[in-house]
A and B are shown apart, each in its own frame.
Chain A
């Protein structure tokens, strides 16, 4: 069967017919089980996705900041400071992993200090450390090695790789994102397993119905269709309810804006809501495949 025919026959299966659906009596128990399972799993999936997408955003932002800069602070007695700055720049030029280094001008330093001391600070005449901005390459430099060289050649230098402490956090956030997606896959798998069990229970409960339909000339696909339609619709309905409830819950989560956006409120933004909207569709696809497989397997056995 070509993919197109396959999709065509799947759509036809779902479109279905009312009479076939009447032939299989409703089984309240499996119906409620499927709706409940789908709703619960969709609810969980939304939270996991929100967490995972948030972690991803945090990781991305921190990675961006990491790639930027570190600073070298040089404090020395008045006469030696320029010499030390030049020495430090020489060291940095020959350090692998350093893309560029630049001493901040007096104006830039004044601008940095302005919030604390006002705009008229006489930077030149104060014993203020000089700052060198270091841009790293993607690979980054070896902090310990650079510290050692600086200690030998530029005694007044202090390397501040302020962004580096975040590296393990970025890794953790990235891992959290990966775990989140793995959890979504597990949730889909668990949903498939539970729907398979519910479908099998329904098929077993309807063994006599299946027998009669067979005797009057029903094909396997027709009988399977009645079950598949039912379970797909139930999964869609259940997961829509689950998504709606958890979507509202996520939306109502308080926004966190701690430490200038280093931490991030758990939640969803913009296009990420589309992921959530996809959950009922995913649940329906899972239910469709699980029920169809269960039905065809069961029907194959009772030949």
Chain B
């Protein structure tokens, strides 16, 4: 699905990471951990074509991001659902329209009626559907972001700190949503600091844990 081959990225200063080789196989579940500022968000951006690797290659569905024009990147993003660390909503539109936005920009807004209600119920936001994003709590926003990430039924889900500002119970719910999606065959990559979350996940599913540290990516020790 997504492959990184000796990928490196630099914002202009030194390289944030180098030589990252990683394959997200269909149906796999990965966690990405590492200290704050290690470049987890940056690595995810490489995975959905917002950034282009400064060295090495990133392939989405077999296609090198460096060779894609913006329209190709847009098309590929419809196959990759992303939960952004800072959510990224349109603050003037109600949650329901924000969640349906990927359908809208794909010219399929008429399909929204069919699953939007069900999807909002699934993430527990039925009551908040008509509220504006700034009126929601952090956890509600993150669930809305997850709903938006999956509305196009993408093959891959990338979640950046999806449990960043929510309590344990809510993060358990979010995790179980991700696990459910993975069981449906979706490829999942979750960037998180939350070791407890990773442990909870490993109890339910076989997940690989990757650690970004000292500019390298490594498989984390089993015991965490």
Contact = CB atoms under 8 A, between A and B. Distances in A.
Contacts of B119: none
B70 A217 contact: no
Interface stretch (B83-91, B204-212, B216-224): B83-91
A19 interface: yes
B58 interface: no
B104 A217 contact: no
A41 B188 CA distance: 56
A19 B109 CA distance: 8
A220 B70 contact: yes
A220 B84 CA distance: 21
A216 B101 contact: yes
Interface stretch (A63-71, A185-193, A207-215, A228-236): A207-215
Interface string B130-162: 000000000000000000100010000000000
Given A17-B107, A20-B104, A23-B101, A211 B93 contact: no
Contacts of A211: 88
Given A215-B77, A215-B84, A23 B70 contact: no
Contacts of B71: 219-221
B88 A217 contact: no
B93 A218 contact: no
Nearest to B88: A212
Contacts of B77: 214-217
Given A216-B101, A216-B148, A220-B71, A209 B109 contact: no
B118 interface: no
Interface string B54-75: 0000000000000000110011
Interface string A46-86: 00000000000000000000000000000000000000000
A22 interface: yes
Contacts of B82: 215
Given A17-B107, A220-B71, A222-B105, A25 B148 contact: no
Interface residues of A, number: 21
B93 A23 contact: yes
Contacts of B89: 212
A94 interface: no
Contacts of A213: 90, 101, 105
Given A212-B88, A212-B101, A303-B70, A217 B106 contact: yes
Nearest to A20: B104
B97 interface: yes
Contacts of A218: 74, 105
User: Which 3 residue pairs are nearest across A and B when measured between Cβ atoms?
Assistant: A218-B105, A217-B77, A217-B78
Interface of B: 48, 50, 70-71, 74-75, 77-78, 82, 84, 88-90, 92-93, 97, 101-102, 104-107, 109, 148, 152
22 contacts: A17-B109, A19-B104, A19-B109, A20-B104, A22-B97, A212-B89, A212-B101, A213-B101, A215-B50, A215-B82, A215-B84, A215-B88, A216-B101, A217-B74, A217-B75, A217-B78, A217-B102, A217-B105, A217-B106, A218-B105, A219-B70, A219-B105
Interface of A: 17, 19-20, 22-23, 25, 209, 211-222, 299, 303
Given A22-B93, A22-B97, A220-B71, 4 more contacts: A19-B97, A213-B101, A217-B74, A222-B105
